[in-house]
Chain A
Amino acid sequence: MITDYFLSIAIMICMYSILAVSLNMILGFTGLLNLGHAAFFALGAYTSALLSLAGFSFWISMISGGCVAALFGLVIGGSSLRLRGDYLAIATLGFGEIVRILLKNGGDLTRGALGLVGIPRPSFFGIVIKTQLQYFVLYLIIAVLCIFLLWCIAQSPFGRVLRGIREDELAVSSLGKNVFQYKVIAVSLGACFAGIAGSLFAHYITYIEPNSFGFMESIIIVCMVVLGGLGSIAGSVLGAVLLIIFPELFKMVVQEWLPVSIEMQAGIKFLLYGVILVVLMLYKREGLLGEKRRGNHDLAS
């Protein structure tokens, strides 16, 4: 079914939009490079999958997925946010890999590399979400809600403080704000929404395994945020849309003339991601929709 195919792409876009906007909270607004965002995604997915398998309802498991990820964000943030920008990036990368390794060796609970299978589909008020269209409508509503919430947070005084931290940490702390506390809250907020996205992912694919939450996944999310523009919520959504649609478009168009193996498709996709990162950083640091920075402000020191 061709409509189902398009709908499945749209559903992926919904999930990745949440992920990209939630990372934007951390990377774009606060200026903290988080290379372990896929770990929050994974924690949300695993938590909600395990709860669903234990018989809890979709909503409860989704919310608790978000909460566990947020808690984890609190731990990561609390322990590593005193590090400077590039060291923080490597530390979050380390955290992300540790989470993946723990899930892989989690024994009977996470079933290791085999992953969790047969995650129940979302159901409420007696309706079981089965078709792609139902999934799309449900996920679209959740995505819009999440993004709206994050947008509200970004517009609030709290969001302004975060942007202030990105521009000049010293100035913000001289205004009497506890910079460290703000950073930790920003990270755990981003983590919470990434966890919700993970829960959506688990309930849509109904099968999760540790290797789908590797370092590459984190990089893809970073790439979406950078492409869309740091600090722009519409930009992150645009980045997610473009980076999900392009590989699919490529598959459809090129496959007609050139038979390309799945491996080649992956290679070309990653090549594109890499080129986007390099070209944007060298020539257009504000991304597609990011706010143009006046003066020679640094991203984060």
Chain B
Amino acid sequence: MDLSIAVQLVLNSILAGGIYALIALGYTMVYGVLKFINFAHGEIFMIGAYTAYAASVALPMQVAVPFSWFMSILVVLFLAYHIPFDSFFKKRVWYQYLIIAGILLVVAKSISYFFLYLLVHALPLWISALISIIVCAILGFVIEKVGYKKLRGKDRLTPLITAIGFSIILQALALLMFGGEIRSFEYKTQESYEVFGASITPHQLLIILTSIIIMILLHLFLKYTKYGKAMRAVTDNMDVAKIIGINPDKVISLVFMIGSGLAAVAGILIGIEQNLHPTMGIVPGIKAFTAAVIGGIGNIYGAVLGGYFIGFAENIGIWFIPSGYKDAIAFVILLLMLLLKPSGFFGQQKEEEVRA
């Protein structure tokens, strides 16, 4: 192959790899803290793409109304977890739940008008991206509180099945709200730059740069801030972290919010380039999981390298084999990794943790 094709393949690989790396970070961070595979992560990526899409185009009313309800209910649930409702009542009475539900519903109704206003107008991309990141962070938080929190410390299959349940729920909700048809951000095709004979559009450049910048920001956050250090401490050893006064509940919530926010970024970036579909989360989700496994699941820097590795393997692989097998490449890598070296290339984790 000549130089221009090689450069094109490398560019495509970096493009895809950055997105896989962003999703893989969420998997690996959650695994590091809770030791469980958050299967619903791919669907949070999908919701991120849809939210950014919904905010950046002027949605018709019959789509905007249910989606504004979805967003407002998420926000209300998020707020509800921060309000100590029990302290409002002198003693526990049965109708307090009715009162709380009523108040929440009224609040949700009013917030939904605000979201409706946002959705029916076409907003610039950066504001829609911000909305999408916030909504996904809240979604991650709510899923953790509603579902996974109760299952902490139980066996490994129960949280996994729960996560599969959540992923189907999110897919079904996307299907119900947006319908099964393929949607896209409706950008005009852009003129592309020439780099050594390979072409790259400004959007693709944006994707590559954003993914790298976000990862650098995450690195700085983990390395230098108080919360980042707490997060690393809990990942390292939760019991010791508790002893020195770190609240693991807070850190776990934070991990879910950051992981989901990163997935949202990946969703937005992919949404700029490709079409949206309710099932778009499954395959990238599994590929990103593969990336996390390659990097040694639980290892944040490994996940980034794994993401780029998958990107390269896939894009260079289809140069040699029929493109129909593109998705199979990642699955084969996943199986080979799991069967031969399940601790990954950079894992500090021991083999026994993975083997039965």
Contact = CB atoms under 8 A, between A and B. Distances in A.
A82 B352 CA distance: 10
B157 A85 contact: yes
Contacts of A95: 335
A265 to B, nearest CB: 10
A282 interface: yes
10 contacts: A84-B355, A87-B342, A89-B160, A222-B161, A267-B172, A270-B168, A270-B172, A270-B175, A298-B155, A301-B155
Contacts of B335: 79-80, 91, 94-95, 98
Contacts of A93: 286
Q: Say whether chain A's binding surface is mostly helix, strand, loop, or mixed.
A: helix
A263 B175 contact: yes
Given A82-B355, A282-B162, A91 B286 contact: no
Nearest to B159: A281
A9 to B, nearest CB: 22
Interface size class for chain B?
Answer: 35 or more
A298 B154 contact: yes
Interface string B269-288: 00000000000001000100
Contacts of A271: 168-169, 172-173, 176
B93 interface: no
A222 B164 CA distance: 10
Interface size class for chain A?
Answer: 35 or more
A266 B175 contact: yes
Contacts of B176: 264, 267-268, 271
B165 A101 contact: no
B156 A274 contact: no
Nearest to B174: A267
A102 B322 CA distance: 12
A87 B289 CA distance: 11
A84 B162 contact: no
Interface string B132-145: 00000000000000
A150 interface: no
Contact of A90 (B37, B167, B180): B37
Nearest to B282: A215
B99 interface: no
Interface string A249-285: 0000000000000011011111101111110011001
A105 B286 contact: no
A217 interface: no
B169 A274 contact: yes
A84 B161 contact: no
7 tightest Cβ-Cβ pairs between the two chains A and B: A277-B165, A298-B155, A274-B168, A274-B169, A278-B165, A270-B172, A271-B172
B356 interface: yes
Contacts of B308: none
Nearest to B168: A274
B338 A98 contact: no
Scoring A84, A87, A169, A276 by chain B CB atoms within 10 A of each residue's CB, the highest score goes to A87
Interface string B335-355: 100110010000000000111
A277 B156 contact: no
A86 interface: yes
Nearest to B162: A281
Contact of A301 (B156, B162, B166): B156
Interface stretch (B18-26, B236-244, B326-334): B326-334
Contact of A84 (B151, B165, B325, B356): B356
A91 B338 CA distance: 7
Interface in B168-216: 168-173, 175-176, 179-180
Contacts of B37: 86, 89-90
A171 interface: no
Given A93-B286, A298-B155, A300-B157, A82 B356 contact: yes
B322 A282 contact: no
B158 interface: yes
